[in-house]
Structures are given as structure tokens and as C-alpha cells.
Structure 1
Amino acid sequence: MISIIIASTKNILLKNISKNIEDTIGVDFEIISFDNARGERGLCELYNKGSRMAKYDILCFMHEDISIKTYNWGSIVCKSFKQNEKLGLIGIAGSIYKAIAPSGWHSNSENTERTNIIQTFKFSDKTEMHHTRNPLNEKYTRVACIDGVWFSTLKKVVTENPFDEQNFKGFHAYDIDFSLQVGQHYDINVRYDILLQHFSEGNFDKSWMLEVMKLHSKWNKYLPIQTMNFDKRTRIQIEKRTFKDFIDKSLANKIPAIKVVQLLWNKDGIRRFDFKLFLKLNRYLVGKTLRL
């Protein structure tokens, strides 16, 4: 009933997640895996190929460095799509607000996050944590975008909205881009009744920054997207915090300031959203650049 698509970099991780899926999914399934140890093919290319190969109507894409803790999670996924014909995408981490400011799925704001995941840290000495944000105690929440660690969709949805392998040839931003495509036509939900453990956190390096910049050049005129009403003051606060964080990360990763300026001055971006904020962010960028 579910075709599971995985881009694998290590045989041991693929073996472990395959056994984990077999033990927990609770419905008929197939695993379509691609050996991508050398990283020669991007996730968009592999996910499109896997979608075409899939024999089932429901598709599940996941990283291999996870362990799913919920038993019979396959039934939860199948029932979700059966009960809501408008549903196009399910994740376990996402955001109810996707900022204009360049960012990952979370828009750098805890108030907008909706998650249920056990996070283990590979790139820092942080303590493992059960990261859950569900302030309204819902079974699921409609969101603007999801994280790519684990997500499920329908084969027809991918056929209508294929992963953008022309623009995104690596391993970043594919999840947000796919969310924004699907969200134009379908609902996107984060569910809290499926729990998994992720054994590494995101690494916000230069390649991630460049892909996020590319993503926002593509989608700026459609942003921000929100599934819960925020007043203008709150949205300005989110955008200000998010763009400042982006500026800091960009300069730390030695991305030329001119590239940040090009995004900042985009007529479909922050300048269109709030001109006073646009001026403040320009001053912040100049100040940070002069101090380097």
C-alpha cells in the first residue's frame, strides 16, 4: 500500500531502516532505494525516479538515519489520505508560516514550528531531546511547509508536482520547494501521532545557504505563506529575526555580501512586504559587513 523511497549513502543505515520499517509499518510496502554514496545525483532526481517506479499510490520519502517509533504508522498514513481528499502531503515537522526572509522550513521562529520528533545531535554536543510543538493539542496541523526527514504524499501529487530537479541538484531545499508547489493545490499537514528519532541535525553550511537563496529567488512573489492568521506586527518580527539570522549565517559562510543584497533588494521580497523593515535590514547588513 505504501512505496518507500530512500536515497542511501551507507549500506548499514539502509539495512537498519529497512528492518525498522518492516517491524513498524503494519501495511504492505515496498522499498525503492538508490545507492548515492558518492552523492553524484540530487534528491529531486532520485525522488522523481523513485516515484515513477513505485507500484503503490501512496509514497513515503525518508532519510535513512532515522528510527520510527510508532507501530502501525502505515495505517495512520493511509487513513489520513482516505479521510481528506484535499490532503496532498504529510510530515512530522513543519511550519505554519513560511517567511519571505530566506530560511529553512522553520522560518527561525519557535512560535511557528509544529513538530514531533526525537532529535539526536551529530554536529554538536547538545543533549538528545524530544522536540514537540503542538500548542493547540491537535492530532494534526495544517502547515505551509514540511521538513524532508520524513514525509508522505500521493503518486498523483508527485506526477502533478514533480520535484524540481532542474533547479535543485543537491540535497537541500527540495522539501520546501516541493511543499510550496503542493501547497498551491492541496493541504499539507504535520501529524503528531507518528514519532521517529533522527540521528543527525541539519548542517547550515555554504551549500545549504546557496540552495536556500535559490529557493527564495524562485518563490519570493508568493511569500509569506501562513496557515494561521498572524497580525502584521508579528509577521514583521518573524521576518526581521529570520533575515538577520540569514545575514549572519551568510557572512559566516563567506557568501559575498552582494548576493545577500540581491535578495534583500528583490522587488518581490522584503521591500514589497514592509519598506521600514527593508531599510532596517539594509543598515544591519552594512553594519555587519563593515565589522568583518
Structure 2
Amino acid sequence: MISIIICSRHSDISRDLKENIKSTIGLEYETIIIDNSENKYSIFFAYNFGFSQSNYPYLCFIHEDVIFRTNNWGVKLIEHLQVDKCGVVGIAGGKTVTNIPAQWSNENRFMHIIQHYKKANANSFIQEPLENENLAEEVIVVDGVFLAMQRTLFSHIKFDEQIDGFHSYDYDISIQSVVAGFHNFVVYDVLLEHFSEGFKDKRYYTNLIKVYKKWAAYLPLVTADLSNNTLLHIKEIENRRLKKLIRRMAKTGFSIDEITSTYSFFIDMLNKKGIFFKLRFLKQKIFFIKLYKSILFFKK
């Protein structure tokens, strides 16, 4: 009943993952492995191709470096997916997509995952919020480590192959779902263990910016249950996020022209929406961020 679609950096997924899925899913399934060992495909193309090869009414797109820690997780997942107007279901996500590109985890995040960290050489069980009594929490963006949906949803959305690479496919497909009138959820009765962290380099921010530009006319997006207090502070949040975006772009190798062009786009867009603020001495700030990064490099 579930088609599990995986884009692999190898010709096949690990035996451990195959056995783990078989022993935990609890119902009929198929695995569709997209061999990307030669790096021919973007994640957007690979997932659309995987969908075209699938047969079952429920779809689950997952990373290859995970292990499921819940028995009969497939049965539980389908119960969530059968909710009326259900869009994308996952195990981590955020309730807010502001006008300014940022990680979903920066504000109003909801998670249920065992996450491994390189620096700490350890793993951590994360449940946010700790006291959440709901089995499902509505979000806007679902993290790409685990994306599930009904097959019929693909008549309304698909992975956007105009975007290249391996980043922000989760942001884009999640926003597509919300704009099409569906509701996305993080669920708390499916647990998986994820053995790697995301890497936020220039390619990550390039795709994130592309997705935010694509959906600029629809932003900000927030779930209906957010407090009015949160909504009142959107401008403050966006001001903080714009400054952080500029710092991140400077540190990950964007040119001054690329940064100022991006800044101008989002400032102009905000101004058209009646939100007015600006950063003073922008080019000077970028210069000193890049200089500081260079000094740290030569101190190593």
C-alpha cells in the first residue's frame, strides 16, 4: 500500500535499511530506488521519476541514511494521510514561512526524531514541544528527511524540476501543498533515526532563495493556530532573518553583487507589501564579514 521512494548515492540502498523497512512497516509496500551513483539527477527529477515508477496509493520519500524505530509505522502513517485535505506528512517541520529565506527550524518548530550530530559524535532524541499531547501538529514546511503523501496529491503538486541540485525540495513541495489548499503535518507516533546532518553551503542558500522568490506573492505563510502575538512580531522576525541571511551569504561565498541583488529583491518585495526597513552600510558590513572569515581561515 506504500511506495517508498529513495534517491541513492549508490546503486542500491543498504541491506540494513531494507531489513529495517521490512521488519517495521507492518503492511504491503514496494521500494523504488533511484540510482544516482553517477550524480546524474537532481533530487527534484529523481523524486518525480520515482513517483512515475510507483504503484501504490501512498507515497513516502525518505533519505537513505535512516532507520525506523517504530513498529507498524506504515499503518500509523496511513491513518494520518487519510485525514481530509491532508497534504504532506513528516517527522519534523515548522509553522512559519516568512517573506525572508530562513531555516524552518528558526521559529515555531515541531520535531520527533533521533538525530545524529558530527561534532558531538553522538545522537539526540528530539521531541519539540516536549509536552505536546497531539499525535499530529499542523505545520507549513515539512523537513525532507521524510515526506509522505497520498498519491492523489500529485495531481495538484510535483517536485519542481526547474530547480536544480539537492536542497529546498522540501520547502517547495510543502508550500505547493499549502497553496493548493491542503494541510501539512508533523506526526508524533512515527519515529526514525537520522544518521547525518544537513550541510548549509552556497548551494543550500542558492536554492532556498530561489524557492522564496518563487513563492514571494504568497508569503508569509503561517498555520491558523499561531497566536496573534507571533503574527504581530513577523516584521521583527523578518528584520532579524534578513540580517542573518546576509551574514550567511557572505560566509558561504556569495559575491557582494549577488548579496546586494538578493537584498534589493527582498527589500523591494517587502516595501510593496507595506513593510519598510533597511540595513545601513550594507556593502561595508559584507566586506567586514568576508574579511573576518578570511582572518579565521589564515589562523588555522
TM-score calculated relative to the size of structure 1: 0.90
Q: Does 1:55 align with 2:32?
A: no
**Residue number in structure 2 paired with 1:183:** 178
**Residue number in structure 2 paired with 1:113:** 109
Q: Unmatched 5+ residue regions in structure 1?
A: none
**Residue number in structure 1 paired with 2:258:** 259
Question: RMSD of the TM alignment (CA)?
Answer: 2.0
CA–CA distance in 2 between the matches of 1:31 and 1:160?
A: 23
- Shift of residue 273 of structure 1? 5.0
Q: Deviations over 1:239-259 (max 9, x none)?
A: 233222221110001202332
Query: 3-state SS of the aligned residue for 1:170?
Result: coil
**Residue number in structure 2 paired with 1:102:** 101
| Residues 8 and 14, structure 1, Cα contact 8 Å, conserved in 2 | no
**Residue number in structure 1 paired with 2:155:** 159
CA–CA distance in 2 between the matches of 1:271 and 1:70?
A: 48
Q: How many residues are paired up?
A: 283
Which is higher, the Rg of structure 1 or of structure 2? 2
CA–CA distance in 1 between the matches of 2:87 and 2:77?
A: 11
CA–CA distance in 1 between the matches of 2:31 and 2:4?
A: 5
Pair 1:284–1:158, CA change in 2 (3 A): farther
Within-5 A mapping of 1:23-172: 23-82=23-82, 84-106=83-105, 108-109=106-107, 112-122=108-118, 124-125=119-120, 127-134=122-129, 136-166=132-162, 168-172=163-167
Q: What code does the residue aligned with 2:141 have?
A: C
Q: Unmatched 5+ residue regions in structure 2?
A: 292-300
- Shift of residue 126 of structure 1? 5.7
Which runs of structure 1 show a deviation greater than 4 angstroms over 4 or more consecutive aligned residues?
none
**Residue number in structure 1 paired with 2:205:** 209
Query: 3-state SS of the aligned residue for 1:90?
Result: strand
Q: Does 1:223 align with 2:198?
A: no
Percent identity of the aligned residues? 31
| Residues 7 and 36, structure 2, Cα contact 8 Å, conserved in 1 | yes
Pair 1:235–1:78, CA change in 2 (3 A): same
**Residue number in structure 2 paired with 1:173:** 168
| Residues 13 and 33, structure 2, Cα contact 8 Å, conserved in 1 | no
- Shift of residue 10 of structure 1? 3.3
| Residues 70 and 196, structure 1, Cα contact 8 Å, conserved in 2 | yes
- Shift of residue 85 of structure 1? 1.9
Q: What code does the residue aligned with 1:20 have?
A: N
**Residue number in structure 1 paired with 2:296:** none
TM-score calculated relative to the size of structure 2: 0.88
Query: 3-state SS of the aligned residue for 1:138?
Result: coil
